[in-house]
Homo-oligomer: A and B are copies of this chain.
Amino acid sequence: MLSKNTIKRLNQLTNKKNRLKESLFIVEGDKMILELAGSDYKVTELYITTEMEPSISKDKFPDTHIQLVSSAELKKISQLKTPQNSLAVCCIQDQYQLPQLLTESLSVYLDGIQDPGNLGTILRICDWFGIQHIFVSADTVDIYNPKVIQASMGSFARVKVYETEFAVVKSLATKSEAVIYGAFMDGENVYNQKLAKKAILVMGNEGNGIRPEIENQINQRVSIPNFSDSQQKAESLNVSVATAVLVSEFKRKL
């Protein structure tokens, strides 16, 4: 039986303030939860239905409070329309220590991404394309937002996200001899660019793009050409889609 208190406490973790206070966040989705066993994330509580029970070994979650719940109970603590068979409570990581130098060919800086679905999708894209370092501005949506976790499909636990001012990334780029690229509507056609062997790609906010203070510090403006020859055409691509196309183009050329 889940106590009313537990239900209330878990539901409160949908709120960023409460997540920070408790230093806890929620992960849903059976596959994602099974993957947590091999990750850096400590799982403190695990709520599972009988369907999930055979897949969860105490060995893999030695310090976790594991509790069997009914589907109806799971529904009360889940944020999903159709909950699966498990829900995990995990400890928020201490901030990763910033790298001294950029050793990877490509890193990403996200400037004020607001939509949790977009951030989660970008984490998944970065994971796929082997991008280890993702820097985010303080006003980017919280990576522990349940919708970010959901959209990331487990990638949140495989990439390193650093919340940091752009100035820090700029100085890191200088030290590492990396070129800073930014995605703009009026940038140079990315397909025709010879791209640097070491790069940081800056992606801006959904509505406003990259803020002017950062725009000033971009070395190279790039864009994805619009191929439509109609008079009426799409004005933009969604930011996660644009990230995928640009990152693919960088990685392909390396």
Binding site for B on A (CB under 8 A): 35, 38-39, 117, 121, 124-125, 127-130, 153-155, 158, 191, 224, 226-230, 232-238, 240-241, 244-245, 248-249, 251-252
Contacts and interface: CB of A to CB of B under 8 A. Distances in A.
Contact residues of A: prevailing secondary structure: loop
18 contacts: A39-B232, A117-B117, A124-B237, A125-B241, A127-B228, A127-B233, A128-B224, A128-B226, A128-B236, A129-B226, A158-B233, A158-B234, A224-B248, A237-B244, A240-B241, A244-B244, A244-B245, A248-B248
A45 to B, nearest CB: 23
Nearest to A124: B234
Give the number of copies in the complex. Answer: 2
Given A128-B234, A130-B229, 18 more contacts: A38-B232, A117-B117, A121-B241, A124-B234, A124-B238, A125-B241, A127-B228, A127-B233, A129-B226, A129-B227, A130-B228, A153-B234, A153-B235, A153-B238, A191-B252, A240-B241, A241-B241, A244-B244
Contacts of A155: 234
A125 B237 contact: yes
Contacts of A237: 124-125, 128, 244
A176 B228 CA distance: 21
